[in-house]
Structure 1
Amino acid sequence: MTQGKCPSCGAMVEFTAGSAQVVVCGYCQTVVARKGLDFESHGKIGSIVPTDSPLQLRAEGRYRKAAYTIVGHLQKDHGAGPWDEWYVEFADGRTGWLSESEGTFHLMFDMGPEEGVVLEDLHPGERLHLRDRAWVIEERGHGRVVAAAGQLPSDVDPTQDAWYVDATGPKGAFLTLDFGTRGHSPEVFVGEALKLEQLGIPAGQLRPRVRKVELQQARCTQCNGNLSLRAPDKTLRVACPYCGALLDARQGKLSFLRMLEKPSRPLIIPLGTKGKLDGAEWICIGYLERSCTVEGVRYPWEEFLLYNASRGFVWLMNSNGHWVFLKPLPAGDVSLSPDVAAFYEHRRYKCFQHVTAVTDKVLGEFYWTVRVGERAQASEYVSAPYSVNVDATDDEVSYTHGEYLEPEVVKEAFGLKEPMPQREGIAPSQPNPHQSGLRSVFVWTGLWILALFVLSAVLSLTAAKTVVLEKAVVVPPDATPGTPAAMHFSEPFELPKRGNMRVEISGTPFNEWLGIQGDLVNQDTNDVVLFYEELSYYRGNDGDGEWTESNMSTSTYLSPVPAGKYALRTTASFEANPRRPRPMTYRVKLIHDTPNSSWFCFALGLMVVGPVVALYRSHSFETRRWAESNV
């Protein structure tokens, strides 16, 4: 530890961190640098202003079992309010920086300069391969140091406007390229995103959350309406719900910017309403109406900004009565093929639309400098009920992961009394109601078809299949149709039980047809079962060569025949031909108690109706969904 007096005010200052080169005097805000054994003044720096950060100097934590101490504090500003960066020194000699953004902390380590990287070549949304990793650029910006405290590794210059590029990689990896004043190769800082509990700082060493008391019960500068801000420490812009005035809150006080058009109807979720979603309690603090124009038609939607002190900000979007819950998503966790597909957590999201989103109306409070008329290139990738959404401007790109919610879920979560807006059309990420039961339909249909095959096999195996009659019948060449010469009577045969009857007929007509009328006569009751089948054979020659057309055998099933004694009478029909050179012969075969497959085909047809209808309804739903896509 090195101690000495501040060159400006004479107060004692000390260096406890071996890596520190300057220390900020806690009494006069002079930046004191070591010069050998002496101290020298490097000018003054602003005092730290209270923020909502829970970190503070001299807090001790552990990261991956390595102990560290927060020894320095910087506040930077890019014109939209300050943010905090903390300099940490590890017990093993390593140093790093902790920065905070919307409840997430980024612990980064200096990896040295990177030659050949130019600021102008880096744009939000683009991919960057650096230090053997793939990154997605999320933000390109600049800011200057406005305040400092504690010990720091290098001098600070409050007049220097430094440029930076932030990018994310898979599994929380984080990258910052510090370009300084743009005139040199960037310094590379690599680390990861962490939650507060992952910093390993005991609760007793965390600073109580600062509340901007003057903003908690602030009044509109235009109408004097009570605003009662819900997140005063995070709020940068406020839109008055009474008069529509847009107010700036960056300096801890409200200042008028411009008048805005107020929503034409009461909000579905009023500002200040609390609700429970995703296992946390949220409060609605802001409202946006945004829209896009496609082929000359304007499509508006609503976005409600929700806030939770420990989880930060999320969005609840309403479009034509369809609700989507949106949570921030690191761009580096998504593998993106622009306008084609996105891949996140082993799921493929198909691109649904790409539009220019315009902010039309604003109400409530916001953590960024929102303004009416701001534009962003918005893309939506869908894998119902989820979506990956990308909003990109010239300087920043943000990713969110959406989950479709039923209107009743939103109504119950926020205790809304008024009826929810009726849903219109199909939303991009709306679950297909017919697809959820599709698997069940196919499973049950498969089981029933399997049972059907088993039943058919059992019936086939247990059937007697007895041949009760097999007879060859000769029709004389000089026979005339309808005369006794064309008829034949079989010998009587016995059927021991009721059962199906299969009739098989075959013959050898030549260049003619032969019709067989059958009458199965019950000799006890004189009941008759009829059937009729035709045989034919034709052969000829034409310009294309020789041809044949034949039907030399056929079969049919009779309805179940009762037990009893039967005889078969067959009558042949044919074209009369006194010059027929030879007799016609046909063979009749009766097989009793044989399965009829027609019932099987009918049952199988009925069983497949369900899956076909389910597939049609599911496909129809998807067709109507993707008909609204513009890519």
Structure 2
Amino acid sequence: MTQGRCPSCGADVEFTAGSAQVVVCSHCQTVVARKDADFEALGKIGRVVVTDSPLQVGAEGRYDGSAFQVVGHLQKDHGAGPWDEWYVEFADGRTGWVSESEGTVHLLFSGGVEEGLSLSDLHPGEKLRLRNRHWVVEERGHGKVIAAEGQLPSDVDPRADSWYVDATSSKGAIITLDFGVHASDPEVFIGARLKLEQLGIPPDQLRPRVRRKVDLKQARCTECNGPLELRAPDKSLRVGCPFCGALLDVSKGKLSFLRLLEKPEHAPLIPLGAKGTLRDTEWMCLGFLVRSCTVEGIRYPWEEYLLFNRSKGFVWLMNSQGHWVFLEPLAAGDVQLVPHVSAFFDGRRYKAYQNVHAVTENVQGEFYWEVTAGEYAEATEYVAPPYSINVDSTENEVSYTFGEYLAPEVVKEAFKLEAVPSPEGIVPSQPNPHKAKMLSTVLWSIGWLMLLLLVAGLFSATSLNKVVLDQQVTVPAEATPGTPSAMKFSEPFDLERRGNMKVYVAAGLMNDWMGIQGDLVNQETGEVVGFYEEVSLYQGSDSDGSWSEGSANGSLHLSALPAGKYVLRTTASYDPTPARVRNYTVRLTHDSPNGGWLCVAFVLLLLGPVFAFFRSHNFETRRWADSNLSE
């Protein structure tokens, strides 16, 4: 520990942190540097203002098995209100910086200087390979140190406008490139996103959260004097008056008029201040935006509702044509992006759907950033229904959100709304209502097919499949086709039980044809079952080579015949010229398995899946018809 007196006011100052090079006098705000055994005044710095951060100088905690203490505090501002950065020193000699943003804590450790890296080469949305990791640039900005307290590692210059670049990688990793006032060779700080509880600071060492704009709790619009009940005054930077449409700035702790906006066509469906439960969390509706894009001269508007929970921060609820999407912030580094082609996140592939230029048209309620009407952003959406990855980018910042489609009834129930508009058309991340039905239909069809195959197998196993007649017939040359002279009777044969009959006919043909008229005569009842089978075979050659047409054999199935003794009578028909001896064979197989019914049943079973497929496919066709990025 090094103790001494402030060179400016004479008050006691001391260095307890071994890594500290300067200390801010708590009495006169002089930045005091230690020079060997002497103290030197380096100028004055502003006094910190109370913010909503729970951290404070002197707080002690434990992270990654090592104890630390908060020894210094900087406040920076880029013109839209201050943010806090806390200097911490670990017992193992490490030092780091802690910052807080929208409910998430960032803990960063110095990684030295990265030589050869230029500020002009880094733009939001671009990929960066650094320190053996891939990063995605999320923000490029600048700010000045406006206030400080405690012990710090180096001098602070309130006149210097310092530039920084923030990027993220997978699994919560973050990196800040501090360029200072230079254009290259930044100091690198690498760390991770954490929850406040992970810092291990006892609750009694945390500062109670206070509302730094309590005087705005019951503020009034500077234009119409309408009451503005700010529900998160400690978080808000912009307020849109719901009465007159005035856009007001809150960053300086008081309301100041910016511009007058056109009022939306209708009031927000979710009233400002309304509370609703989604994802087991109670959210309050703080803000309402109307945004739109114009494609081929047609305006497409949608609504966005800003929801807030003190422990979980901010999320969005988007309404487009009666369709709702719940949107949560997402680190760019967690997404593998092929711009305008696809995105990969959490083991799922998202296909690029659309890329538009979105404009903010109307603002009501409170917002945590400097929202302005007329603000443009390039918006790209990647979908894997019911989920989506949404990328909004401006010149200096890119933000990613993870979306999930919600049924209108879910939103209606969550916020206890009297009614919500009925959905119209199809939106990008809307789940296909026919896809699940198609899968169910396919599964049922497969089940029935398996049953049919089982039945067919049983029939095949239990059938006789017995040849009861195999007869060779010779027709004399002098016989006349289709007359008794061309007729032949078989020997009697028995059918043991009722069953179908397969008839096989083969003839010795060459460039000829033959028709066989058969009659099965039940000798006990006299009942006759007839059939006719015609075969033909023609062969030859021409300029294209040899050819063949037809077949010298054929078969057919007869309906079930009752048991009994039968005789087969066959009569041959053929071309009588030239006159010659003709031969043919008739074979009868009793109780033969017939797969024809199985084929018919299979075709009928296919009708359901085919219909379901075309219905699902038609939905997807209509969905992607509005895409401007699909192939």
What range describes the TM-score normalised by the shorter chain of this pair? over 0.9
Q: Measure the CA separation in 1 of the matches of 2:79 and 2:133.
A: 32
Contact persistence 2:486–2:572 (CA under 8 A): yes
Q: For residue 319 of structure 1, what is the amino acid of its counterpart?
A: S
Deviations 1:166-212 (A, max 9, x none): 11111111111111112552111111111111111111111111112
Tell me which moved more, 505-514 or 170-179. 505-514
What SS does structure 1 have at the residue aligned with 2:617?
Answer: helix
Q: For residue 472 of structure 1, what is the amino acid of its counterpart?
A: Q
Instruction: Report the equivalent of 1:333.
Output: 334
The question of 1:374 aligning with 2:375 is answered yes
Contact persistence 2:538–2:550 (CA under 8 A): yes
Contact persistence 2:514–2:535 (CA under 8 A): yes
Q: For residue 601 of structure 1, what is the amino acid of its counterpart?
A: C
The question of 1:426 aligning with 2:426 is answered yes
Deviations 1:238-280 (A, max 9, x none): 0001111111101111111111111111211111111111221
Q: Measure the CA separation in 1 of the matches of 2:550 and 2:27.
A: 114
Contact persistence 2:513–2:575 (CA under 8 A): yes
Q: Measure the CA separation in 2 of the matches of 1:528 and 1:536.
A: 27
Tell me which moved more, 561-570 or 260-269. 561-570
Q: Measure the CA separation in 1 of the matches of 2:184 and 2:546.
A: 91
Q: Measure the CA separation in 2 of the matches of 1:512 and 1:464.
A: 35
Q: Measure the CA separation in 2 of the matches of 1:12 and 1:548.
A: 114
Counterparts of residues 2-401 of structure 1 (less than 5 Å)? 2-211=2-211, 212-401=213-402
Instruction: Report the equivalent of 1:472.
Output: 472
Q: For residue 404 of structure 1, what is the amino acid of its counterpart?
A: Y
Q: Measure the CA separation in 1 of the matches of 2:239 and 2:226.
A: 12
- Which among 621, 627, 630 is matched to residue 629 of structure 1? 627
- Which among 594, 606, 613 is matched to residue 611 of structure 2? 613
Q: Measure the CA separation in 2 of the matches of 1:544 and 1:158.
A: 95
The question of 1:595 aligning with 2:593 is answered yes
What SS does structure 2 have at the residue aligned with 1:299?
Answer: strand
The question of 1:498 aligning with 2:498 is answered yes
When residues 345 and 207 of structure 1 are mapped into structure 2, their CA distance, relative to the original with a 3 A threshold, is same
Q: CA deviation at 1:543?
A: 4.1
Instruction: Report the equivalent of 1:555.
Output: 555
Q: Measure the CA separation in 1 of the matches of 2:239 and 2:451.
A: 67
Contact persistence 1:508–1:537 (CA under 8 A): no
Instruction: Report the equivalent of 2:565.
Output: 565
Deviations 1:199-246 (A, max 9, x none): 111111111111121111111111121111111111000000111111
Q: CA deviation at 1:309?
A: 0.5
Q: Measure the CA separation in 2 of the matches of 1:542 and 1:284.
A: 85
Tell me which moved more, 473-482 or 106-115. 473-482
The question of 1:509 aligning with 2:518 is answered no
Q: CA deviation at 1:379?
A: 0.7
Counterparts of residues 450-489 of structure 1 (less than 5 Å)? 450-489=450-489
When residues 529 and 85 of structure 1 are mapped into structure 2, their CA distance, relative to the original with a 3 A threshold, is same
Tell me which moved more, 444-453 or 154-163. 444-453
When residues 545 and 75 of structure 1 are mapped into structure 2, their CA distance, relative to the original with a 3 A threshold, is closer
Q: Measure the CA separation in 2 of the matches of 1:244 and 1:317.
A: 21
Q: CA deviation at 1:144?
A: 0.2
Q: For residue 462 of structure 1, what is the amino acid of its counterpart?
A: T
With normalisation by structure 1, the TM-score equals: 0.97
Runs of 4 or more consecutive aligned structure 1 residues displaced over 6 Å after TM superposition: none
Q: Measure the CA separation in 2 of the matches of 1:294 and 1:59.
A: 54
Contact persistence 1:246–1:258 (CA under 8 A): yes
What is the percent sequence identity of the aligned residues? 65
Unaligned runs of 5+ in 1: none
- Across the two proteins, how many residue pairs are aligned to each other? 628
When residues 541 and 116 of structure 1 are mapped into structure 2, their CA distance, relative to the original with a 3 A threshold, is closer
What SS does structure 2 have at the residue aligned with 1:232?
Answer: coil
Contact persistence 2:70–2:88 (CA under 8 A): yes
When residues 103 and 544 of structure 1 are mapped into structure 2, their CA distance, relative to the original with a 3 A threshold, is closer
Contact persistence 1:480–1:576 (CA under 8 A): yes
Q: Measure the CA separation in 2 of the matches of 1:510 and 1:258.
A: 98
Q: Measure the CA separation in 2 of the matches of 1:256 and 1:550.
A: 92
Q: For residue 607 of structure 1, what is the amino acid of its counterpart?
A: L
What SS does structure 1 have at the residue aligned with 2:460?
Answer: helix
Q: Measure the CA separation in 2 of the matches of 1:118 and 1:540.
A: 83
Contact persistence 1:482–1:573 (CA under 8 A): yes
When residues 83 and 599 of structure 1 are mapped into structure 2, their CA distance, relative to the original with a 3 A threshold, is same
Q: For residue 589 of structure 1, what is the amino acid of its counterpart?
A: R
Tell me which moved more, 388-397 or 538-547. 538-547
When residues 28 and 547 of structure 1 are mapped into structure 2, their CA distance, relative to the original with a 3 A threshold, is closer
Q: Measure the CA separation in 1 of the matches of 2:476 and 2:110.
A: 110
When residues 547 and 132 of structure 1 are mapped into structure 2, their CA distance, relative to the original with a 3 A threshold, is closer
Q: CA deviation at 1:615?
A: 2.1
Q: Measure the CA separation in 2 of the matches of 1:542 and 1:243.
A: 92
Q: CA deviation at 1:595?
A: 1.2
Q: For residue 430 of structure 2, what is the amino acid of its counterpart?
A: Q
Contact persistence 2:539–2:547 (CA under 8 A): yes
Contact persistence 2:119–2:184 (CA under 8 A): no
When residues 326 and 480 of structure 1 are mapped into structure 2, their CA distance, relative to the original with a 3 A threshold, is same
What SS does structure 1 have at the residue aligned with 2:264?
Answer: coil
Q: CA deviation at 1:590?
A: 1.1
What SS does structure 2 have at the residue aligned with 1:189?
Answer: strand
Q: Measure the CA separation in 1 of the matches of 2:162 and 2:109.
A: 18
When residues 439 and 181 of structure 1 are mapped into structure 2, their CA distance, relative to the original with a 3 A threshold, is same
Q: Measure the CA separation in 1 of the matches of 2:180 and 2:539.
A: 96
What SS does structure 1 have at the residue aligned with 2:32?
Answer: strand
Q: For residue 256 of structure 1, what is the amino acid of its counterpart?
A: F
When residues 417 and 583 of structure 1 are mapped into structure 2, their CA distance, relative to the original with a 3 A threshold, is same
Q: CA deviation at 1:376?
A: 0.7
Q: For residue 280 of structure 2, what is the amino acid of its counterpart?
A: G
Tell me which moved more, 365-374 or 39-48. 39-48
